Amino acid sequence: MHTYVYKSLRKADTYVYLARRDDFECLPVPVREQLGRLEFVLDVALTPERRLASQDPQQVRDNLAARGFHLQVPPSTAADPMTEDWGTDA
């Protein structure tokens, strides 16, 4: 399966994988509005042996087949208290 990856210019570290290049119509309107302008960054073949840095490739393939897109958002920092600034810099 082939996918086309775009980054959101409004939301940092947010990416959209599309089954068809420039097929933004498959994205729900609220998602499109939140992401703002999208910039093409990569096209890649998602073979079963392909590994992705922060996403499960099988989940990406499943979402592409079912919806035509996969949304990658940054992990929440609220779940990790160690990401807070505790003011302990020496």
pLDDT at 3 (0 to 100) = 93
- Region of 68 (left: φ > 0; alpha: ψ -120 to 50; beta: rest) is left
- Return the pLDDT at 57: 87
pTM of the model: 0.80
Q: Using 50 as the pLDDT threshold, list the residues of the chain that sit under it.
A: none
The predicted structure's pLDDT at residue 29: 94
pLDDT value at position 66? 94
Pairing verdict, β 15-18 and 69-72: antiparallel
